[in-house]
């Protein structure tokens, strides 16, 4: 038994430290860096920050290196910048849905994904072509080169299909293109509010949209939910120091604190702030009976609803009052019936006496 216990402990420790070892080996296998061109706005940055002109065509390059003793194939994907559910700018989405306000995505002005095979200890220059639209624009186009090993990219797709956990390592090299250095004022829009499950836990999500070609930085949001017409706050959420990619949207989550999503109409009060910019929203939304049933059925760790003792006590008192009242009424009716029967007997007896008095006596 002791040997079995020791083996389990060793396996647990091994499972905890193996991802760290894997990360070290994976991160050292290959590297990628941007080769900064002359039209770089801020030359201290290690990613592309380029001043462009309408209709301009330009080639930019990345240096990729294989530091291992095995042949390696690397995939370099130029992706648009999106905003994930944590309020973080994400460059890993190769097939993400474009925001409705994004008229010129980075993917439309840059050449396609490339696959590069590197021999052991080999370094290569990988070119990409930029072709700006003829019509000028304000603000910036933001994206990133997502660099990963081919085997890891395939493993990641397989893991998604089979719901597996894989340790995959990648590089992201940002790229932002501007035609003017003039700052664009951010605008925030609130879209759909809906009930949802986040990691199988009840929540409500609020879709927030950055409608302008600028990054919303140091972005703070505070949200409260209450029943419509009631001032009591039922659930609230606060997140600070978030950021939003230009022309992107994400679903801001409000945890329902492991409580059931009850049908009804609610009111959302939300304030959002980024620097000197501030937005305030108040919006009603409804959770339908169908949504409530479906989501609550699939949710995990729902709290059991605490009994409403006040209602229970009042119900018991009401039931007892009705019972006692009913009994008293029956007793009253019974007594009344008995009294009526008694009076009827007395009347009958009096009537008989009168009749007997009127009868002639026999023998007279």
Q: Work out whether strand 170-178 and strand 216-227 pair parallel, antiparallel, or are unpaired.
A: unpaired
140-149 and 170-178 beta bridge pairing = antiparallel
Tell me how far apart the alpha carbons of residues 44 and 33 are, in angstroms, rounded to a whole number: 14
CATH 2.60.40.10 location in the chain = 26-178, 188-298
In 3D space, the residue among 174, 183, 243 whose CA is nearest the CA of residue 215 turns out to be 243
Contact call for residues 251 and 195 (beta carbons, < 8 A): no
Q: Token match 């990628």: residue? A: 32
CATH, domain 26-178, list 2.40.30.20, 2.60.40.10, 3.40.50.1370, 1.50.10.10: 2.60.40.10
Q: What pLDDT is attached to residue 2?
A: 43
pTM over 0.85: no
Are 247 and 99 in contact by the 8 Å Cβ rule? The answer is yes
For residue 115, the cross-strand partners are: 75
Second-level CATH architecture of 188-298: Sandwich (2.60)
Per the listing, tokens 């085997």 go with 151
**Cα distances (Å, whole numbers) of residue 339 to 334, 335, 342, 349:** 9, 6, 5, 15
What is the pLDDT at residue 323?
A: 85
Tokens 């460059």 belong to: 91
pLDDT at 16: 32
Q: pLDDT tens digits for the chain (364 residues)?
A: 444 444 333 333 233 322 322 233 344 589 999 999 999 999 999 999 999 999 999 999 999 999 999 999 999 999 999 999 999 999 998 877 899 999 999 999 999 999 999 999 999 999 999 999 999 999 999 999 999 998 755 555 554 454 444 556 788 999 999 999 999 999 999 999 999 999 999 999 999 999 999 999 999 999 999 999 999 999 999 999 999 999 999 999 999 999 999 999 999 999 999 999 999 999 999 999 999 999 999 999 786 555 566 777 888 888 888 888 788 888 887 887 777 777 777 777 777 777 766 666 555 4
Q: Provide the 10 A C-beta neighbour count for residue 25.
A: 11
């Amino acid at each position: 038994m002791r040997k079995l216990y020791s083996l389990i402990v060793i396996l647990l420790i091994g499972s905890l430290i193996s991802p760290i070892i894997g990360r070290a080996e994976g991160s050292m296998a290959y590297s990628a860096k941007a080769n900064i061109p002359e039209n770089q706005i801020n030359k201290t940055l290690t990613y592309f920050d380029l001043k462009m002109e309408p209709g301009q065509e330009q080639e930019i390059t990345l240096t990729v290196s294989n530091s291992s003793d095995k042949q390696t194939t690397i995939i370099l994907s130029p992706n648009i910048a999106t905003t994930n559910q944590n309020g973080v700018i994400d460059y890993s989405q190769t097939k993400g849905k474009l925001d409705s306000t994004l008229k010129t995505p980075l993917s439309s002005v840059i050449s396609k994904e490339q696959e590069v095979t590197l021999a052991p200890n080999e370094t290569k220059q990988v070119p990409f072509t930029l072709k700006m639209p003829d019509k000028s624009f304000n603000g910036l186009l933001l994206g990133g080169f997502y660099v990963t090993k081919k085997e890891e990219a395939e493993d990641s797709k397989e893991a998604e299909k089979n719901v597996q956990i894989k340790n995959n390592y990648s590089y992201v090299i940002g790229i932002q293109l501007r035609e003017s250095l003039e700052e664009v004022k951010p605008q925030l829009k609130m879209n759909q509010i809906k009930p949802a499950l986040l990691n199988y836990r009840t929540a409500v999500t609020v879709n927030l949209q950055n409608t302008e070609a600028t990054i919303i930085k140091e972005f703070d949001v505070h949200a409260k939910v209450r029943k419509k017409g009631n001032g009591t706050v039922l659930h609230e959420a606060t997140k600070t120091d978030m950021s939003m990619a230009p022309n992107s949207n994400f679903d801001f989550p409000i945890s329902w604190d492991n409580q059931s999503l009850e049908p009804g109409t609610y009111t959302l009060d939300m304030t959002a702030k980024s620097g000197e910019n501030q937005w305030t929203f108040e919006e009603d939304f409804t959770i339908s009976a169908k949504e409530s049933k479906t989501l609550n059925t699939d949710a995990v760790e729902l709290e059991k609803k605490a009994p409403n003792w006040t209602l229970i006590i009042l119900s018991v008192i009401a039931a007892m009052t009705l019972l006692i009242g009913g009994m008293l009424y029956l007793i009253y009716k019974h007594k009344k019936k008995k009294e009526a029967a008694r009076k009827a007997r007395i009347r009958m007896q009096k009537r008989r006496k009168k009749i007997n008095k009127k009868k002639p006596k026999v023998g007279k």
